[in-house]
Copies of this chain bind each other. A is one copy, B any other.
């Protein structure tokens, strides 16, 4: 944590007064970058890229080198845990993740165990170590996980889904089995994040991609309650490592998310930042939330919309914990790299006025 050349992101996440708004971007190491596509081609496929620490390190640093972002995020996939549990992840371009052995019975839930962090997920910790060395203190490294509900959804559906019939069917028909599944996944996530921290990540983010598909009461019981356990466990052992929770489509639930004890909330682009600040801004840092589609348009448009986001959060006058700039979801493959440069330059140049 010490001796960072640029610790703006960590200071902002601790709610400290900072000189300007930090910026990083979800999926900043990704297909919109030609150098990423080259490394990916060299790896052969996405999972090999994730599982080869030197290559994962290479792509993690590409957007840092090119754009001067304020944080790096471990290059990996949210489904490494179920893969290590034996579900056999396959990632095909344009199709998305598929498990060869999805959960199809109570017996399969009974058979699940917390995977060994060394033999099963050691490649992730190796990547963390390699990246920390390569970063050499330039910016902090963010580690991450999918939320238990999101992982369980993929494990039961076997792939992405629109209506989530299988996992919701299980939830409605056998809540006990669903909680059992979420329990072992949560235990695994907790060990995984502890291992990431011990390997060197300096901040954590939990991606709850599918929590927004639930009713309010089911969100509380089947997604948020488990993220709460994760926050509590990490905070008890590593109170110095800030944690950000991000439920896509969770704009209605910010108050209860802020009560978990996390340090920040990721916001998708549907959430009004001024309104979110009013609701929970004195409790947590807010991270977001430019519509990713803007990154596919013109540089002028990117600058205008980025300034709108800054203005929407408004002055850092001590009445709230602060703002970290990001998109409201991952940057898309169609985004123009030059727009990323414009975005970073705009946030760096224009945000200082909001921190006087």
Interface residues of A, Cβ cutoff 8 Å to B: 163-165, 168-169, 172-173, 212-219, 249, 251-252, 269-272, 275, 289, 291-294, 296-298, 301, 305, 308, 328, 332, 334
Chain B residues positioned under 8 Å from A289 (CB to CB): 215
Tell whether A293 pairs with B252 under 8 Å between CB atoms, given A216-B275, A272-B216.
Answer: no
User: How far does the alpha carbon of A42 sit from the alpha carbon of B334 in the complex, in Å?
Assistant: 44
Q: Please determine whether A214 and B293 come into contact, CB atoms closer than 8 angstroms.
A: no
User: How far does the alpha carbon of A214 sit from the alpha carbon of B269 in the complex, in Å?
Assistant: 7
Nearest CB in chain B to that of A293: its residue: B168
Q: Please determine whether B212 and A173 come into contact, CB atoms closer than 8 angstroms.
A: no
Chain B residues positioned under 8 Å from A272 (CB to CB): 215-217, 252
User: How far does the alpha carbon of A212 sit from the alpha carbon of B216 in the complex, in Å?
Assistant: 17
Which one of B215, B249, B275 lies within 8 Å of A249 (CB-CB)? Answer: B249
Chain B residues positioned under 8 Å from A252 (CB to CB): 251-252, 270-272
Query: Most chain-B Cβ atoms within 10 A of its Cβ — which of A163, A270, A296, A305?
Result: A270
* A interface SS class: helix
Give the Cβ gap from A311 to chain B, nearest Cβ, in Å: 11
Chain B residues positioned under 8 Å from A298 (CB to CB): 173
User: How far does the alpha carbon of A219 sit from the alpha carbon of B332 in the complex, in Å?
Assistant: 21
Nearest CB in chain B to that of A164: its residue: B293
Chain B residues positioned under 8 Å from A294 (CB to CB): 172
Query: Most chain-B Cβ atoms within 10 A of its Cβ — which of A251, A298, A334?
Result: A251
Tell whether A271 pairs with B216 under 8 Å between CB atoms, given A169-B293, A172-B305, A297-B169.
Answer: yes
Chain B residues positioned under 8 Å from A293 (CB to CB): 163-165, 168-169, 172
A-B pairs with lowest CB-CB distance, top 10? A216-B272, A168-B293, A251-B252, A172-B297, A215-B269, A173-B297, A172-B301, A215-B291, A172-B294, A165-B293
Which one of B164, B271, B296, B301 lies within 8 Å of A165 (CB-CB)? Answer: B296
Contacts A/B (CB < 8 Å), 12 sampled = A163-B332, A165-B332, A172-B301, A172-B305, A173-B298, A213-B270, A214-B270, A215-B272, A215-B328, A216-B271, A249-B270, A252-B272
